[in-house]
Amino acid sequence: MQTVKIGNVEIEKTAMLAPMASVADKAYRTICKEYGAAFVVSEMVSVKGLYYSDNKTDELCHVSDFERPMAIQLFGDDPEYFKLAVEKINKYTPCIIDINMGCPVPKVAGNGSGAALMKSPKLAGKIIAATVSAAKCPVTVKIRSGWDFDNINAVEMAKIAEENGAAAVAVHARTKTQLYSGKADWEIIQRVKNTVNITVIGNGDINSPEDAKRMYDETGCDLVMIGRATYGKPWIFSQVKEYLENGTYSPDPTAEERMKILLHHAELIVESKGERKGMAEARKHAAWYMKGMKNAASFRNRCGEIDSMESLKKLIEEALSE
């Protein structure tokens, strides 16, 4: 299997897990790693929250040995806070620090962070430079194709990232205004790859192993990143790896196998967050794992009632009996 380097970090050239707020927590990253994710990224961590030692923010920064190689992703809009936050984050010894310049949600982009930085290239450059100056590991940047279709500036942003010391740039080939709808324009990934000399990661509309290979072939990117297609389907990473190596891949697990994976995933969540909080988190995952099963709509609706491992096991038994 080929590898790609981000700074001094060597990563299998298969597929990595996208950073996803309220989804890609420790349990999610762990199960994706178990199925072959080449690289994982933490949920977004606020630089101000980290600087002011918010307990929840502090928890987000812990990196387990099993998760490595792993990046901690930061968001904010002030270069000085990035520098101060990174000085604190170094103690967690992340493999990579990633800067979020692509999140489109109002509570992030609406406050000048995330994708809003696509509209402020000079500020983005200062943030990257400040982060690189304080980091003891490589720094990467996640961007979108642009703010909207009239302002496609991913190439400019990637050049700014490179000029200010970033080791890689990940490109979600949608605009901020597209959010997660419409079609990703992979041509922008190719244009970025043809312009910069740093590692380029492609993201957007990878829903199958075939899509992953096609992105590699069409864009020339160094690594592909998968997000929503992993919902209830962490085994997509092993399928991508098989397909890139052999041109074929194993079928999706049976319903019974999927429910075993769901139970394991729920156990990981409870181990990390406790049963009460963990089972509330597990509800959405349970619904994703049950997608496509017989009478799935009914059982997915009932996932919202799960409040313990026992209630989850009972629901799974009923679903499989169908």
What amino acid positions are annotated as catalytic residues?
103
Q: Which two tokens stand for residue 296?
A: 């799935």
Greatest alpha-carbon pair distance for the chain in Å reads: 59
| Contact between residue 32 and residue 17 where contact means Cβ atoms under 8 Å apart | yes
Task: Estimate the share of the chain in helix, then strand, then coil, as percent rounded to the nearest 5.
Answer: 50, 15, 30
Eight-state DSSP code of residue 181 = -
Torsions phi, psi of 41, nearest 5?
-130, 145
Return d(Cα 89, Cα 92) in angstroms, integer: 6
Taking Cα atoms as reference points, which of 151, 185, 153, 149 lies closest to residue 169?
A: 153
Task: At 275, list the tokens.
Answer: 């049963």
Q: Could you tell me where the beta strands, DSSP code E, fall in 167-293?
A: 168-175, 199-203, 223-226
Who's near 112: CB < 8 A, 6+ residues apart? 77, 120
Whether the Cβ atoms of residue 279 and residue 307 lie closer than 8 Å to each other: yes
AA letter at 204:
G
**Cα separation of the two ends of the chain:** 41
Distance between CA atoms of 15 and 209, rounded to whole angstroms? Answer: 9
| Cis ω for the linkage preceding 94 (within 30 of 0) | no
